[in-house]
Amino acid sequence: MSRRPLTLALIIGMAAISAPAAINRSIRTKRDASAGPIQQVCLVSLDAQLNRFGMKGMEPMPKETEEWTPKIKDTVIQAALGAGWKMAGDYADLSAVSEDARDSVVKVKQRYDTIAVQLNKKPGKVAKGRYTLSDEVALLPCSASADSLLFVSASGVLKTGAREAFSLIVWGGMTGALANYSLRIAFVDAKSGEVTAFTRIVLMGGGKFGEDPAKVLTKRLIEEFKKTGSGAK
């Protein structure tokens, strides 16, 4: 695959040919309207990974992942602002975090990593209050002003030309040949450390042909954030 079409795919990740039905969303939440709407959020962690799926199997794409990560981060932040929230902090890039704050950020991230696998496998337990990072989250500089902490994980699989052609034959249509992307976002109470919501969005091909894919995703996330922030299920 030449670099130019690959770069176009990176711009955001949601390539265009399939119908809106290709967007699947699931959410588990413990939030409710009585808790009050979310007003300020702090982005604590954002991990992204792109892989290429060719005839030889799955291969990581480190350079492309490096380019993609800030684009996903910008999309998440723009969606948060579009939902009417304010950003109380951004610690996604540890190299930009002050030395005084770095230790507490690392500890909270590690704490989240210990429950992330189970959270993704059994999100239904969020509604029962089974996941928590404990009150150590209060050590984060942004916790004093934030309502919620955000933990984001994004992954994408891009198919090579040969694999696309093979998929067309096997699947008998375009769906099997398209790229697919997944976003998992956890909302954590900034004071108690309890995971209050977890949303997972999977896109296969994403939005309508001709639309800016980054705008399509941003619009979708704004809708999700508004629902989550108000306690809607």
pLDDT average, residue stretch 54-77: 86
Q: Which residues pair with 60 in a beta bridge?
A: 51
State the DSSP code for 16. Answer: S
In this structure, is residue 233 part of a structural domain? no
Across 25-39, 68-82, 130-144, 182-196, least confident range: 25-39
What's the predicted TM-score (pTM) here?
0.78
- 74 within some domain: yes
The answer to whether residue 176 sits within a structural domain is yes
Please state, in angstroms and rounded to a whole number, the distance separating the CA atoms of residues 190 and 213. 31
What letter does residue 102 receive in the DSSP assignment? Answer: H
CB 197 within 8 A of CB 126: yes
Q: Which of 38-42, 86-90, 95-99 has the lowest mean pLDDT?
A: 95-99
Q: Which two tokens stand for residue 153?
A: 């994980």
Q: What is the pLDDT of residue 76?
A: 93
Q: For residue 46, give both structure tokens.
A: 């954002």
| 224 — pLDDT class (breaks 50, 70, 90) | confident
Answer with the residue of higher pLDDT: 80 or 32.
80
- Residue at 151 is within a domain: yes
Q: Residue 232: inside a domain, yes or no? A: no
Question: Using one digit for the tens of pLDDT, what is the confidence trace for 99-138?
Answer: 888 999 999 999 999 999 999 888 888 888 889 999 889 9
* Domains: count for the chain: 1
pLDDT digits (tens, 9 = 90+) for 157-216: 877 665 555 444 444 444 444 467 788 999 999 988 999 988 888 776 544 434 555 677
Has residue 216 been placed in a domain? yes
* pLDDT mean across residues, the chain: 76
Residue 181 lies in a domain: yes
In a domain, 38, yes or no: yes
Domain extent for 167? 3-227
Predicted pLDDT at 43: 97
Q: Distance between CA atoms of 42 and 184, rounded to whole angstroms?
A: 16
* 17 vs 77, residue with greater confidence: 77
* Distance of alpha carbon 20 from the chain centroid: 19
